Amino acid sequence: MGEDMGSALLRNVLEKVGLREPDASDYDDEYADNDEGALGEVHEFPGSTEPEVSEKKEVTEAQSQPQAPVFNRIKTSKPTSYNDAPEIGDSLRDNIPVILNLNYMGKPEGQRMVDFVSGLCFGLEGKLELVGENLFLLTPKGIATVTDQKQTPSFLPSRY
């Protein structure tokens, strides 16, 4: 070996982290000269060991059906101040639908709450729907809602 210990160590480290490909000269050739012959006899078995396939069937990748989340409760929230926002966020993050009644808030805080839940629903890929005057339905991702009325272009009530 014509290289010093430091360069060999550096080469090994670079190979381990993938910054250097091993050279053919890095491998020992001591096993190449080993011609001891066969290790044992090889016996062939009669017949094929492969399972017989009668016909080829087309294989298609299974597509997973999105499972609707199972929930057994809906949270009703009647916040009186913006300080109630974290509780609403926690419920929606835990995949619990929330009915949000903003009739107990003033206009500035109500607008702030609408801004918060809009961002919350967007970030969690949920939905925000106006279901009545100052009444919103917040649903997590994967929950479908069915309405009998077409949504108005703006989800904000006239009060906000």
Tell me how crowded residue 57 is: count the other CB atoms within 10 A of its CB.
7
Question: What is the count of structural domains for the chain?
Answer: 1
pLDDT at 153: 47
For residue 119, is it within any domain? yes
For residue 40, is it within any domain? no
CATH code of the domain covering residue 135: 3.30.110.150
Sign of CA dihedral 129, 141, 88, 123: negative
Question: Across residues 31-39, what is the average pLDDT?
Answer: 59
- Confidence band for 145, pLDDT divided at 50, 70 and 90: confident
The upper half-sphere exposure of residue 111, i.e. CA atoms within 13 Å in the direction of its Cβ, equals 5
For residue 121, is it within any domain? yes
For residue 90, is it within any domain? yes
For residue 154, is it within any domain? no
For residue 2, is it within any domain? no
pTM: 0.49
pLDDT at 87: 92
For residue 126, is it within any domain? yes
Question: Across residues 49-61, what is the average pLDDT?
Answer: 64
For residue 4, is it within any domain? no
- Confidence band for 8, pLDDT divided at 50, 70 and 90: confident
Its domain, for residue 107, covers: 75-139
